Amino acid sequence: MERPGQNSSRYSWFFKIFGNPREEIETSPTTLTPIKPKKPVKNFIDKPIAGNFETTLSRNNQTMLAQLSSARKYQTIIKDASRRFNIKSSVICGMGSRESHWGMALKPKGPSGRGDFARRRPRGNRRGAEPPDGGGYGRGLMQIDYDWHEFARTGKWYDPRENIIYACTVLDRARKFFDKKAQGLNEEQKLRAMIAAYNGGATATLRSIKAGDDIDARTTGLDYSKDVLNRSGWFQLHGWD
């Protein structure tokens, strides 16, 4: 996820990060290895959205079917968040798949689980060697990062509704940022930028765009938004809009 500014206010960090181009944005790597498709994921950047996303994943992919079953536990929450923030439910599903396999890859499994247990230097608002409440920097279904998000330190990150809504809030703020800072993007590019910013940061993603690099150039695995949309396309095959 993106790095918020250092601020004690729960949401004011959004405005600090989006208004401070000098602030360094770092990626928050996921602990999960992306599912390997049968062929390389296509680069979506030059193709406007027509409402559906392509996928290279088999409709009967067993790993994804297990994630689908888990995601359905949160269907009402996902649908509510989709309407509230005008984000396709399939995109939310694709992100939850990439971040935590919808809780199946967390320790313990489920919405109260954690990921990203690799040791890393203190950053953001963390000063100690490890979070004082235990290991794991990624919190909950959407893997809200402990170092950069106050919500992951003080909020109800273990509550699936709170976690999903917070993640959609980050996406919505990123959309508004790119509406202001990158007005030449088409709808497909903007969506990819929003998703990439969730992982690598809005400012870092804007740097990639301005440099003419791929939108994912500063994301974990260099494929974050493409992989999320590949997964989103698979969820569309199973009835998510």
Cβ–Cβ < 8 Å for 28, 148? yes
C-alpha closest to that of 31 among 90, 110, 114, 122: 114
Give per-residue pLDDT as tens, 199-241: 999 999 999 999 999 999 999 999 999 999 999 999 999 999 9
Structural domain count, the chain: 1
| Helices first, then strands: H and E counts in the chain | 9, 3
* CATH code at position 90: 1.10.530.10
Q: Which helix (H) or strand (E) holds 97?
A: helix 89-100
The reply to whether 214 falls in a domain is yes
What are the DSSP calls for 38-60, one per residue? SSPPPP-TTS---S-----S-TT
Which structural domain range is residue 109 located in? Answer: 71-237
The reply to whether 35 falls in a domain is no
The reply to whether 142 falls in a domain is yes
Give per-residue pLDDT as tens, 112-129: 999 999 988 888 888 888
The reply to whether 219 falls in a domain is yes
The reply to whether 216 falls in a domain is yes
Mean pLDDT is lowest, of 22-26, 69-73, 109-113, 200-204, for 22-26
The DSSP output letter for 121 is: -
Q: Does residue 22 carry a pLDDT above 80? A: no
The reply to whether 4 falls in a domain is no
Q: What is the dihedral sign for C-alpha 102, 113, 156, 201?
A: negative
C-alpha closest to that of 175 among 49, 80, 93, 87: 87
pLDDT tier for residue 1 given thresholds of 50, 70 and 90: low
Burial environment of residue 80 by CB neighbours within 10 A (0 to 12, 13 to 18, 19 or more): middle
